[in-house]
Structure 1
Amino acid sequence: MKAITSSSIVGVILDTGNLVLADASNTSIIMWQSFDHFGNTWLPGGKLGRGKLIGGSTRLVAWKTFSDPAPGLFSVVLDPNGTSQFFLMWNSTQQYTTSGNWIGDSFSNMPEMAPTNGYPNSMYTFYYVDGASESYCVYDVKGDELTTRLVVDATGRINVLTWTESAKKWILYWSAPKKQCEVYMSCGSFSICTGNALASCSCLRGFSEQYQGQWLQGDHTQGCKRNAALQGSNNSSRSDKFYTVVDVELPSNEHNFVAEGSTQNCELACLSSHDCTAYSFSSSCSLWYGDLINIQALSSDAIGTKGGSIQIRLAASEFSDRKYTRKLAIIITVATISVALAVVALAFVAMKRFTEVLLVEGSLMAFRYQAVQNLTKNFSNKLGGGAFGSVYKGSVAEGTMVAVKKLEGFRQGEKQFRAEVSTLGTVRHVNLIRLLGFCSERSHRLLIYEYMPNASLDRYLLQRTQQPLLSWSTRYQIALGVARGLHYLHERCRDCIIHYDIKPENILLSDTFVPKVADFGLAKLVGRDFSRVLTTVRGTLGYLAPEWIAGTAITTKADVYSYGMMLFEIVSCTRNVRQRHDNTVDFFPLMAAMKLSEGELQDLFDTQLGCNVDAAEVERACKVACWCIQDEEGARPSMATVVQVLEGLVEVNVQPVPRSLKLLMDQSTYVELS
């Protein structure tokens, strides 16, 4: 601890992070402490709540920006009306997220706090105290090694962060709201928020950034301003007009209006008021006055279930023929120049055997089929095959190696195929294979990926006589990398992506053995069904979660189950099902689960590694794997939790032996399908 002393007062920063001003002659007499005056950070031991006698409430207040510690717009406060729930507030007036009331061991909207809600090994313990003079919440962490903080940041989200010494950085443990677009005024006025875990703000048509400098720095809270003032309605050519924004979650501050059941009457009702800025009509008329806020673009799976279309009011000049003729001329000019440049570029590329590349769509290259034939030497070098087709080695300009997958059984037209592939092209993570391009020509559907020189994980786990032995540390980092990649697919993409087919064959390895999850998103392209899964899983059906057999809805927890089964194979460095000479079968997951429950771990180690193994990591990996393959999907962890456990941030207890393991063992017959 550090001390600053004056003649009568001593300032002490305690190991808890609490700055205390005390009487120099008697430090037990505390005159002031920082735990009573929070900024944007809540540390373990601090009381966040309200006083009942003379006030003295504490609250978290976000910084104005990430670099400006002045008080910002967002805050966290215990309900001043007396309930036990915390509110996330905008400008101290608008509540946009609540913790829910305290229910004995957690807040109702924050189940991650409670060990009884599927997080039995959380390092955090929260308490809520409702006393005569004050009500507050306090939390602590298990052990002295974990450094943690809870922060309300400049974007309006609560983040629980833990310090990882090995990585020398803060790791996100939990955050709320889950989606940035759920934060009130996240993108300001007259803008639209697009995204899931991360937000992307853009001004509506007819509007531009209020303060472009702040916008470029990532601060969108000031929103957008009109390019042209409204003219009002006077039945002339200069009357205000409307344009339609579709598939959005509508602003919440609408006013209902009876417009005799027609879109035209709803539009006239808006035009009749100078303050009306938008309307929407379905079965009734809704009008909006003043600023439009919190418009959200709907994800593809939410379209049709909520939200709808909204008509935005603009000045007539925004629709003038002259203006759009000028824009059209600009577009034509730009297009002409672009075409000319493209022709020159294509001519140059043609000298390098790349003439059949058509164009760039987003970050992806669109290839002609002839080009793919050339770069793969007519598909002469086959790397392997899987559920969705065969994979071939290829070489593009300057000797860059690629892997080309020929899709089989696709069910989509070219337009839909291009749309889905374009979405996959935006997915970026160090532990996900990168899509570089595609081909969609006549009946041909091909995907061009980055090439992984160390092939797939199964070769090192399951074909060890032909490959070098992977050290335990390498295998553990592979397990952690795959978990991070799946966490990104499940929770960090704009739309949640379920893989459906996690197994060693779908984990590719770079030249430095960085794992890359492959074939994600292809189930939607091809149209995955249960019978297809059964015919494509190699070895045994043991990667399939029980819900596949039951025919119930498949969620991300099916990937968690498959990951757990694969993790057992990473630990044992062989197939989960092993056939003996007498035709009996060893089932490693069942043996591992039973050994864990009995506290006997020595039989779980890969004997070829000798002493070069971290016993604590082996035990942790086996515990995680057993947790992942629990029969009920609600009893399995999320991939975010799996990452935290493997990183050593969260401890995990021994889980019960899943009932389905014994059943699967009794009914399985080992058949090598290679």
Structure 2
Amino acid sequence: MDNALKISSGAPVSFGYRDLQIRTWNFSQLLGTGGFGSVYKGSLGDGTLVAVKKLDKVLPHGEKEFITEVNTIGSMHHMNLVRLCGYCSEGTRRLLVYEFMKNGSLDKWIFQSYETRPKDRVLDWPTRFSIAIATAQGIAYFHEQCRNRIIHCDIKPENILLDENFCPKVSDFGLAKLMGREHSHVVTMVRGTRGYLAPEWVSNRPITVKADVYSYGMLLLEIIGGRRNLDMSLDAEDFFYPSWAFKELMNGTPLKAADRRLEGSVKEDELTRALKVAFWCIQDEVFTRPSMGEAVKLLEGSAEIKTPPMPQTVLELVEEGLEQVYRAMKRELDNDDHLCSSFTDVTTQVSTSRATCSYSTMSPR
């Protein structure tokens, strides 16, 4: 049976390395590079476009990651998850074949650093809000509806892919940990991307699905603001988005926290719900964060949402003084490219070393 026909049946199929080499034009069209390897555009015999992830064999978790992806993603089907179509396991070579997502990753559509994009291609508010809800639904699926609970460990805009209709799909389970429900408190290694990691990653607390909830909250704030949560190109008042977004929410002026490029076309009730959900998701205490299923209901307006308290990590930065933190980070950046894996690291280090610390936890990588 032709591989294209096998793929249409829904089960991941095995490809030979030479076959994928041909299908990707000798891996000549690079789509992107992640922590575990590079992704290339390819085309199957029937013209179906695919994305081929070539795992870097020198990385310590490459093979284990491959097995995890094939065994878990291949059995998972949801409209908001990128579908694993096939794989290659040949000698030391490990490759994964995914459905191709025409509009690429979310970061390229929401961040203001991509200002070369035509104005009419800036994502409008209805599209952003729809993406926020659908992404939450995808995460809720592998948290709550699968036989085995999965922690993604790397929720960020770069791992949310958009199809031709801007339907979002969660991608890159390269850091996912498959866990039985009875072992949902055990993750052995600190993983993920700086800027999105929950406080428990750096405080030796148990890692659960609520770590993904925290990362989703940080992602949601970036969808709303159209910018990175930490942007050192801005001044001291604006560089830390969660701080002033929370201030605008509390002042009853949430529209001021929205991406300025949206030019007032935002629905205030939806924006307010989204901000409240985001700040509940990034609470320091795990038990105060909603589940992803609850987050979906809150975003949709089918459940009442209370006003969240200021997250502890944000509060500590504010109390320390954003101006002082900003100056210290500027000095750090002038001396070193190394930048923070969670906002908690920043506040912990600021409190203990008074602006002599590394702020590397806050910067996305």
TM-score range, shorter chain: 0.7 to 0.9
- 1:546 and 2:199 are equivalent in the alignment: yes
Partner of 1:371: 19
Q: How many residues align?
A: 313
SS of 1:608 mapped into structure 2: helix
Among 116, 133, 143, the alignment partner of 1:466 is 116
- CA shift for structure 1 position 419: 7.2
Trace 1:500-649 onto structure 2 (pairs within 5 A). 500-520=153-173, 522-524=175-177, 529-530=189-190, 533=192, 537=193, 541-580=194-233, 586-649=239-302
Query: CA separation of 1:549/1:673 partners in 2, compared to 1, >3 Å: closer, same or farther?
Result: closer
Instruction: Calculate percent identity across the aligned residue pairs.
Output: 46
416-425 or 437-446, which deviates more: 416-425
Q: Which runs of 5+ in 1 are unaligned?
A: 1-344
SS of the residue aligned with 1:577? Answer: coil
1:127-142 matches, within 5 Å, as none
Q: CA offsets, 1:366-396, max 9 Å, x none? A: 0111111111111111001112221111111
Question: Which amino acid counterpart does residue 627 of structure 1 have in structure 2?
Answer: W
RMSD: 2.9
After superposition, give the CA deviation of every residue in 1:334-366 in whole Å (9 maximum; x if it has no partner). Answer: xxxxxxxxxxx4xxx5xxxx79x9999981110
Distance 2:14 2:199 in 1: 39
The separation in 1 between residues aligned to 2:273 and 2:362, in whole angstroms, is 30
Q: Do the aligned partners of 1:392 and 1:404 also contact (CA within 8 Å) in 2?
A: yes
In 2: Cα distance, 1:404 partner to 1:475 partner: 27
Residue pair 1:358, 1:367 contacting (<8 A) in 2 also: no
Secondary structure at 1:455's aligned position in 2? Answer: coil
Q: CA deviation at 1:397?
A: 1.2
Aligned-pair CA distance for 1:413: 6.2
Q: What does residue 434 of structure 1 align with?
A: 83
**Runs in 1 of length 4+ with deviation above 3 angstroms?**
357-362, 410-414, 416-420, 521-525, 580-585, 662-674
Equivalence for 2:136: 483
Range with greater deviation from structure 2 (444-453 or 462-471): 462-471
Q: SS of 2:150's equivalent?
A: coil
Cα displacement (A) at 1:579: 2.2
Aligned residue type for 2:239: D
Mapped partners of 1:397, 1:500: distance in 2: 34
Q: 1:438 to 1:569 in 2, by over 3 A?
A: same
> What is the aligned partner in structure 1 of residue 46 from structure 2?
398
- CA apart distance, 1:600: 2.7
Indicate the structure with greater helix content.
2
Q: Is the 8 A contact 1:360 1:366 kept in 2?
A: no
Contact kept? 1:594, 1:657, Cα under 8 Å: no
How far is 1:423 from its partner? 3.0
1:543/1:561 contact within 8 Å kept: yes
Q: What secondary structure does 2:200 align onto?
A: helix
- CA shift digits 1:539-561 (9 cap, x unpaired): xx321100011022210000000
CA distance in 1, matches of 2:45, 2:80: 25
Shift of 1:455: 0.1
Structure 2 residue aligned with 1:447:
96
In the alignment, the residues of structure 1 paired with residue 261 and residue 7 of structure 2 have an alpha-carbon distance, to the nearest angstrom, of 51
Aligned-partner SS, 2:50: strand
Whichever structure has more strand as a proportion of its residues is: 1
CA distance in 1 between partners of 2:275 and 2:127 (Å): 16
Q: CA deviation at 1:585?
A: 5.8
Give the 3 Å change call, closer, same or farther, for CA 459–362 of structure 1 in structure 2.
closer
* Aligned-pair CA distance for 1:430: 0.3
**Distance in 2 between the 1:378 and 1:655 partners?**
52
Q: Please, which runs of 5 or more residues in structure 2 have no aligned partner?
A: 179-186, 326-345, 347-358
Tell whether the 8 Å contact from 1:593 to 1:656 is kept in structure 2 after alignment: no
> Scaled by the length of structure 1, what TM-score is found?
0.43
With over 3 angstroms needed to count, the CA separation of the structure-2 counterparts of 1:581 and 1:388, relative to structure 1, is: same
Instruction: Tell me the equivalent position of 1:63.
Output: none
2:30 maps to 382
Asked if structure 1 preserves the Cα contact closer than 8 Å seen for 2:103 and 2:166, the reply is yes
SS, match of residue 578 in structure 1: coil
**CA deviation vs aligned residue, 1:234-258 (integer Å, no higher than 9, x gap):** xxxxxxxxxxxxxxxxxxxxxxxxx
Secondary structure of 2:114's match? coil
| Residue 49 (structure 2) pairs with residue 407 (structure 1) | no
Is the contact made by 1:364 and 1:422 (CA closer than 8 Å) also made in structure 2? no
Amino acid in structure 2 at the alignment position of 1:390: S
Contact in 2 for aligned 1:365/1:437 (Cα 8 Å): yes
TM (norm. structure 2) is 0.78
